């Protein structure tokens, strides 16, 4: 469990710096400020349409969905204008989970899909995520190609002068609801009591429908979006309300989705927060037991707890580690033929059913598993042991390479000398915000907290 090498840290930093718009999960920023302006959205729409209208078919279309932020109206209209000006039709599906847009893009034979969402960020932010025709997030190369078009001095022109049309897809919600239920073969969930926090976000309508139609008793929280209350003291970043409801209602478990419902945070029947890596461990071993885990491998990230890696190996599962970001988990799964992976943050990918993280489908799989096992989630979680981790997020004014900051490197080396082979240090920058993330893992919770704070303090002195 060694620190991330200077070389790999440098690589991830360079990746962030050479891109003008795209981060680890699309484009993101404060709404009505660069790059989340109507003017930029028009240009992004034109660039995406230009790239994805090159297929053989005569008619082209792009799906656009969004979460519940009020700025979604502004950006949706601007994107649509840019796309139709390039002769490409737009299919508008309204507020829907990000993974639902990915699925609809594929099932409706669209050329691409676009989601307007800043995920777990507050309401004043927004973002643009793009999927290809199969519902997968774009490669780095394609994103850079889009950027090149956006910032080209030449105007983006329609080669044949054709103008596209925009239409609402009224049945979009129903299509996703039925698909989600089919991923557990419409298995009845009668007898389960589930608390569901929708974060006043994209899943506010579809998520309660899915679980209740399968027979579960659902206590729904935060399903009244008003354009401004998405993620506001609720959802995946604030699961306290959901946790209290699980205890109050004696529920079997609780789920808190984030704003676009591509990930979920879970608490068990005792109201205890379930470590994201524990969900990965439970799902991977259950898939292996049923003979459904391809190549007996699970794709995880460098942030994964060492306890997860130990548990998987102990159960005959080979963990494959990639850099942070569910897109990189999925890329590795696609390239190597794996069908399961995820991040401890709550992104869980069952690639037999989804092309990206899906908090609703992951929660359905957990519910099905609990019914099949006939045990409480707290009982199943008792078998896992995870090493304590401390993570500190440090706001920074710039993303300077860590190996150019001697004091930071000194604090890291000091921490490593204390941890030896019984811990690790990981430094990285957020791909969507000006934040440096400090992670220290080890056996002694108090010690790693002190070591993490020492490193964070040096970063603040340099970049704060």
Arithmetic mean of pLDDT, 103-125: 97
pLDDT digit string, tens, across residues 296-312: 999 999 889 988 999 99
Query: What is the pLDDT at residue 423?
Result: 83
Query: What is the pLDDT at residue 341?
Result: 97
**Mean of all residue pLDDT scores within the chain:** 92
Arithmetic mean of pLDDT, 351-378: 95
Laid out side by side, the sheet with 22-23 consists of: 22-23, 26-30, 125-131, 112-116, 61-66, 89-95, 166-168
- CATH number of the domain to which 393 belongs: 3.30.310.50
Are 251 and 220 found together in one domain? yes
Are 286 and 354 found together in one domain? yes
Q: Where a domain ends, among 170, 195, 216? A: 170
Q: Where a domain ends, among 120, 142, 170? A: 170
Give the confidence band of 158 by pLDDT, cuts at 50, 70, 90: confident
Q: Which domain holds residue 282?
A: 274-381
Number of domains observed in the structure of the chain: 4
Counting residues of the chain whose pLDDT is more than 90, the rounded percentage is 81
Query: What is the pLDDT at residue 303?
Result: 86
The number of helices, as runs of H, and strands, as runs of E, in the chain is: 15, 19
Query: What is the pLDDT at residue 15?
Result: 38
Give the confidence band of 435 by pLDDT, cuts at 50, 70, 90: very high
Residue written as tokens 């979009």? 172
Active site residue 212: no
Give the confidence band of 327 by pLDDT, cuts at 50, 70, 90: confident
Are 53 and 152 found together in one domain? yes
Q: Is residue 11 part of a domain?
A: no
Query: What is the pLDDT at residue 55?
Result: 60
282/368 Cα distance (integer angstroms): 12
Shortest CA distance to 236 belongs to which of 220, 255, 222, 257?
A: 257
pLDDT digit string, tens, across residues 29-45: 999 999 999 999 999 99
Give the confidence band of 421 by pLDDT, cuts at 50, 70, 90: confident
Task: Indicate if the pLDDT at residue 431 is higher than 80.
Answer: no
Query: What is the pLDDT at residue 18?
Result: 64
pTM higher than the cut 0.75: yes
Give the confidence band of 9 by pLDDT, cuts at 50, 70, 90: very low
pLDDT digit string, tens, across residues 44-100: 999 999 999 876 567 899 999 999 999 999 999 999 999 999 999 999 999 999 999
Q: Which of 12, 71, 106, 119 is catalytic?
A: 119
- CATH number of the domain to which 262 belongs: 3.40.120.10
Query: What is the pLDDT at residue 45?
Result: 97
The angle subtended at Cα 336 by Cα 334 and Cα 342, nearest 5°, is 60
């Amino acid at each position: 469990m060694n620190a991330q090498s200077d070389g790999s840290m440098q690589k991830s930093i360079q990746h962030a710096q050479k891109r003008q718009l795209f981060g680890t999960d699309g484009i993101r920023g404060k709404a009505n400020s660069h790059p989340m302006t109507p003017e930029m959205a028009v240009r992004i729409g034109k660039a995406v349409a230009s790239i994805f209208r090159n297929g053989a078919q005569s008619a082209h279309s792009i799906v656009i969905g969004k979460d519940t932020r009020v700025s979604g109206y502004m950006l949706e209209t601007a994107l649509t204008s840019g796309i139709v000006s390039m002769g490409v039709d737009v299919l508008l599906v309204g507020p829907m989970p990000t993974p639902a847009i990915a699925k609809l893009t594929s099932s409706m034979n669209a050329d691409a899909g676009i989601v307007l969402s800043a995920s777990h960020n507050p309401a004043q932010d927004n973002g643009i995520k793009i999927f290809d025709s199969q519902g997968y997030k774009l490669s780095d190369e394609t994103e850079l190609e889009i950027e090149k078009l956006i910032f080209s001095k030449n105007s983006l022109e329609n080669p044949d002068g054709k103008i596209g049309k925009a239409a609402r897809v009224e049945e979009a919600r129903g299509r996703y609801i039925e698909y989600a239920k089919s991923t557990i073969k419409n298995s009845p969930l009668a007898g389960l009591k589930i608390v569901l926090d929708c974060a006043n976000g994209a899943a506010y309508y579809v998520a309660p429908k899915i679980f209740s139609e399968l027979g579960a008793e659902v206590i729904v929280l935060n399903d009244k979006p008003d354009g401004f209350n998405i993620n506001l003291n609720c959802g995946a970043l604030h699961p306290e309300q959901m946790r209290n409801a699980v205890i109050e209602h004696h529920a079997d478990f609780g789920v808190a989705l984030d704003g676009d419902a591509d990930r979920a945070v879970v608490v068990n029947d005792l109201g205890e927060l379930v470590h994201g890596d524990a969900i990965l461990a439970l799902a991977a071993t259950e898939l292996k037991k049923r003979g459904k885990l391809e190549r007996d491998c699970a794709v995880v990230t460098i942030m994964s707890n060492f306890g997860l890696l130990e548990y998987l190996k102990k159960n005959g599962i080979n963990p494959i580690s990639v850099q942070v970001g569910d897109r990189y988990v999925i890329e590795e799964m696609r390239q190597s033929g794996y069908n399961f992976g995820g991040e401890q943050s709550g992104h869980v990918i069952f690639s037999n059913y989804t092309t990206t993280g899906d908090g609703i489908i992951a929660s359905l799989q957990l519910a099905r598993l609990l019914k099949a096992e006939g045990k409480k989630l707290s009982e199943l979680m008792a078998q896992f042991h995870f090493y304590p981790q401390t993570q500190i997020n440090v706001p920074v004014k710039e993303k300077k390479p860590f190996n150019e900051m001697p004091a930071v490197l000194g604090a890291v080396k000091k921490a490593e000398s204390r941890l030896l082979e019984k811990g690790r240090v990981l430094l990285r920058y957020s791909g969507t915000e000006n934040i440096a993330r400090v992670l220290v893992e080890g056996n002694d919770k108090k010690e790693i907290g002190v070591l993490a704070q020492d490193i964070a303090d040096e970063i603040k002195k340099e970049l704060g």
